[in-house]
Structure 1
């Protein structure tokens, strides 16, 4: 049967199909690892791993000064302009060097405080100090990954993602079996270094083509443009992960440590299928929205993205929901009380997907105030709803908060995006 041209020529569908294969393999590997973790370290260990992943996300933003989306946007815009690229990469060099130094020092000398605050124990000082050494790799990987995303080299990027994930999985299993929870935490901590070397090995020729390393200067000609993305990254990444850590501690203190682990396990499942969308956003949505300058084209592209992604995600989420007991039995067999969380988590993630697609217009057009307002509102709603509903419904209240937060967030973002085009039309008319 001949495939219609509209389907064969759909770049978003091509990326989605390729990512589906990669994510499918990742999910199979993740099922095995999560099951192993659940059996060996239990709910308490899963909660600690969740906190470490949150910390790594925060470090990824701090160490690179939050310029990932800026690098993606400007590389997509200036990939044929060597002079502008050189200005971009010189500015990026200064930002990442300063960010790396500051973050490494804070981690090394604040290890005791951070270990107690994040893991509720001073036993993980060694882990925080290890992260201080890993930070340079985190920042370099983030920047180089931004360059590759900006060039939309999605096929090679999918290969990198899969290969580095397999290496990380092998390392995690080996260290987990030999050193229990400490081994798992160490493996997760050094994963960014593995990712960096894999990316560098595969993309060194491409990077040399676009980045003239010998001509980089310690100057910041594009500081203002990138600082806007730094500010947005702080609110979207750093505060988000801080709130997640705080909510995990709240669940642990107000309910039980086991419930903190159950909630973390639910978010792990969510993050495994939501990672499918994150690559699409940076490889396709952000560069595409950056090149659209009128409401009509934006609505056309938005409809194209929605009709491609939402049905696929909807079907996938329905399958997960109806197979939830089977999923729990395979991955987290001893995590009693997890089943009621699926409904609210999946509903929230579906609305979240629709909202985030819209929200990428803020990044594409550097709508800093709108972005910060919507992110702060989203986090405040999540924080407030979680504390309120957890007192009534227990851990299920936290995922109810997740859903309600994104319903409000969607309508707010929708209003702000289309208000932007309305203002733009008035400005043009004048």
Structure 2
């Protein structure tokens, strides 16, 4: 049977298809892992796991000074210019050293305070100290991941993601069975080491081709250019994770630790299927938007992305909604209170996907003020609505806040992107980077 031309020629569809295969395998493994975690550690224990994952997510930005998207953009721009690449990598090296040393110092010497804030006890101080030691691996993984994405090597990226995830899941299960919640937290803390090892094993030949280690120096010629991405990453990663930690803490105090675990279960499921879109953004959307200079070209590509991703995503979400009770019965053991949360979370995530595609125009064109403004607006709205609605609706109030947040966020981002092109049309010189 001959494959239609529009499928054969659609790079995004090829990436989506390959990535979908990886995500399907990953989801099956994730579902089994979540089942074992929720069954063994319970709702309160699962909330602790969510807080540790938030900490690691924050460190992906802090340890690398948030330059991931900058590395993606400039590797895509300069992959044929060896001299510029080495300057870029030297700057990345300086940033990761500074970020890793700072993260280690704060985590190691503030482990007791951080443990109490994240886990409501100092019993897991040793976990925080282990994360401190792992911090440099988080930075290395993030920068190398940026190189893979900048080169748009989606096949190797898919292989790296799958192998690293399977090994990490295996370690988590083994440690969980042996040591319960302590083992699960320890395994999750060590996963960045596995990710770096897998990436080096699979991608080392390509890295050597572009990254000449002998030419790396402790200088930062691209510091000013990358700091813009640092600001964006701080808002998009660090503040987002902190707000999640704070909302989880609020739920535990106002309602119960079990309610905090219920919301963590819903957000974990959401993050598992949203991974599908994350890889597409960095592998395809940023490099593609970077090269687009006109409004007509942007709109054409935006329509192409929407018609490819949104129907696939929409069908998947409908399936998840109608299978929600099966998810709870077989995966999130005794998390019955999750059922009413699905509709709000899924609707919010669908609108979020459409908004995030638009948002990546800000990253591609380094529109720092627009990016930071929209993210702060989104976070403030979510934070305020969550605190407001939780008294009346309980834990469901947080996912209602999530839905409302992304409706308003979409319209704001759309307005700012269109305003960018209007300004470009009126004064092209003013918008050159």
Same fold (TM over 0.5): yes
Hey, what does 2:114 align to over in structure 1?
114
Deviation sequence 1:362-408 (CA, Å, 0-9, x none):
10000000000000000000000100110110000000000000000
**Any idea what SS the aligned residue of 1:122 has?**
coil
TM-score normalized by the length of structure 1: 0.99
Residues 153, 389 of structure 1: alpha-carbon distance in 2 compared, 3 angstrom cutoff: same
- 5+ residue gaps in structure 2? none
Following superposition of structure 1 onto structure 2, how do residues 266-415 of structure 1 map, counting pairs within 5 Å? 266-415=266-415
1:26 aligns with 2:26: yes
Who is 2:428 aligned against? 428
The Cα offsets for residues 303-339 of structure 1, whole Å up to 9 and x where unpaired, read as 0000000000000000101111111111113112110
Residue aligning to 1:162? 162
Cα distance in 2 between the residues matched to 1:350 and 1:245: 23
What residue in structure 2 maps to residue 36 of structure 1? Answer: 36
Superposed CA offset, 1:3-60 (max 9, x none): 2111111000000000111011011111111110111000011100000000000011
Shift of 1:351: 0.2
Question: Against the structure 1 CA distance between its residues 429 and 230, is the aligned structure 2 distance closer, same or farther, given a 3 Å change threshold?
Answer: closer
2:418 match = 418
Q: Are 2:249 and 1:223 aligned?
A: no
Q: How does 1:65-214 map to 2 (within 5 A)?
A: 65-214=65-214
2:338 aligns to what SS in structure 1? coil
Counterpart position of 2:17? 17
Residues of 1 paired with 2:113 and 2:374: CA distance?
Answer: 31
Q: For each residue in 1:162-195, what CA deviation from the matched residue of structure 2 results, as whole angstroms up to 9, or x when unmatched? A: 1111101110011000000000000000001100
How big is each residue's C-alpha offset from its partner over 1:60-118, in whole Å with a ceiling of 9 and x where there is no partner?
10000000000000000000001110110011111111111111011110101111111
Structure 1 runs (4+) deviating above 2 angstroms are none
The yes-or-no answer on 1:57 pairing with 2:65 is no
Q: In structure 1, how many angstroms separate the alpha carbons of the residues matched to 2:107 and 2:302?
A: 41
Within 1, Cα distance between the matches of 2:30 and 2:145? 22
| Counterpart residue number, 1:256 | 256
In the alignment, the residues of structure 1 paired with residue 2 and residue 388 of structure 2 have an alpha-carbon distance, to the nearest angstrom, of 55
**Secondary structure of the corresponding residue to residue 337 of structure 2:** coil
3-state SS of paired residue (1:337): helix
- How many positions carry a matched residue from both structures? 430
Distance 1:103 1:428 in 2: 41
1:217 positional shift: 1.2
- Whole-angstrom distance in 1 between the partners of 2:134 and 2:19: 28
